Amino acid sequence: MSIEIKAPTFPESVADGTVATWYKQPGEACARDEHIVDIETDKVVLEVVAPADGVLKEVLKAEGDVVLSDEVLAVFESGAAASAAPAEKAAAPAAAAPAAAQESVQIKAPTFPESVAEGSVAAWHKQPGEACTRDEHIVDIETDKVVLEVVAPADGVIGDILKAEGDTVLSDEVLANFLVGASGATAAPEAAAPASAAEEGDEDGVADPAARKALAEAGLTAAQVKGTGKGGRITKEDVDTAVKAKPAAAPAAKAAAPAAMPALGADGRVEKRVPMTRLRATIAKRLVEAQQTAAMLTTYNEVNMGSIMEIRKKYKDQFMKTHNGTKLGFMSFFVKAATEALKRFPAVNASIDGNDMVYHGYQDIGVAVSTDRGLMVPVLRNTEAMGLADIESTIMDFALRGRDGKLGMDDMQGGTFTITNGGTFGSLMSTPIINPPQTAILGMHKIQERPMAVNGQVVIQPMMYLALSYDHRMIDGKEAVQFLVTIKDLLEDPARLLLEI
């Protein structure tokens, strides 16, 4: 029975998509719900699966073709695989099941955007021989911006891992082999078979001809080399790797005895040496570049937070009830005040591109979020059109996803201005560093009660220091000071935010 395989129904905001990758070719058998093609839109990549057990008969849309919502992609013949070879199944039913279980697919790194050159394997959550369910999280790929999750393509077992933790990987590079339909129990004997052959000295069974020659030249046995080929077979590259590692084995063995002892520095005191993560290394590089390339200057002011605190105290319960549990914080007021100030001082909302100054007709404000992996700056888009509740709920979503490592590339890219809140951690004053290619960043700090002179009297007021770091190549001192004073005035008299005065 022929079935038409169609593109997904796109939402109204998506006009069309592109056929990204076919995972099956005409004539290949497919299992029900098996992933067969990816459709890429301007927002997400959508998976299309097989509607039943059968065979992909004809592909009507090739990779790279533009497709519309519900457009026919291919013709599928359901049940074709079952009727294609009844004699074979009758003759060898026992052999047929393992064959199906041995269908191997490649697990690849995600497709990185143009701004990301490469990534690193951060952590494998499954090991060779372990069973996985479809869409189960199996490995993390860390880029210089975010950590990307790679999931299992189907129910099955992890085969060979080709990229170990710490290895650098490129976009779409193969990370591991995956046995579709296999289980942990059936995979274990298969993995053990090459090892037992090696122990018996049968190198012909576990090494290809080039590898056997390399083993002989290196004076190694198959048991001393870990095979990464199909089914655990040893390749020449595996032998070369083992030979390179051989000289380092002796010092490692010597160091094995005191392994339980803590690492000691040159002066005999305890030290711990940990490689810098790719994300932290990139943050460090960008911060240093910003200080070396920008004519960075910081201006300071202080704001009386009394009015904002009074509004928050008076309306926080009603705000939460009205906006489905969203809490009213201070950050939304700062975002709205910064948005209004950016409209009045376009140079602060601009960026530098080579010798060009780019003035943005919109306000996209990045909000610095501290995570276990380092500082991330997700971006609030078009803040001029956002209300306080929208800002607060979006920032909370950023914080939760940042904590769980779920922030995506799209969340981090762009931004015309940045706000960072060191006051969360108790900072009284600091000098924030610009986030290139932006030209300015606002630093919030701790709210602290201080004696202030008000109408000739000393009054205790809740005060916060503000810091604006800016690129003097783009922004004059007068503009920077006036920008910060505008934010101060808007926060001390919040009615101005509503009246836009």
Cβ–Cβ < 8 Å for 271, 265? yes
Strands 417-421 and 440-444: parallel
Residue 364: what residue type?
D
CA distance 473 to 437: 12
C-alpha distances (whole Å) from 454 to each of 306, 307, 491 are 13, 15, 17
Helix (H) or strand (E) holding 80: helix 80-84
Cβ–Cβ < 8 Å for 372, 403? yes
Neighbouring CB atoms inside 10 A of 471's CB total: 25
CA distance 501 to 486: 10
* List 125, 472, 489, 493, catalytic entry: 472
Residue 65: what residue type?
D
- Based on the number of CB atoms within 10 Å of its own CB, is 175 exposed (0-12), middle (13-18) or buried (19 or more)? buried
CA distance 494 to 245: 66
In angstroms, the first-to-last Cα distance of the chain is 70
* List 317, 404, 476, 493, catalytic entry: 476
- Based on the number of CB atoms within 10 Å of its own CB, is 67 exposed (0-12), middle (13-18) or buried (19 or more)? buried
Active site residue 476: yes
CA distance 35 to 396: 34
Helix (H) or strand (E) holding 284: helix 278-293
Which residues are identified as catalytic? 472, 476
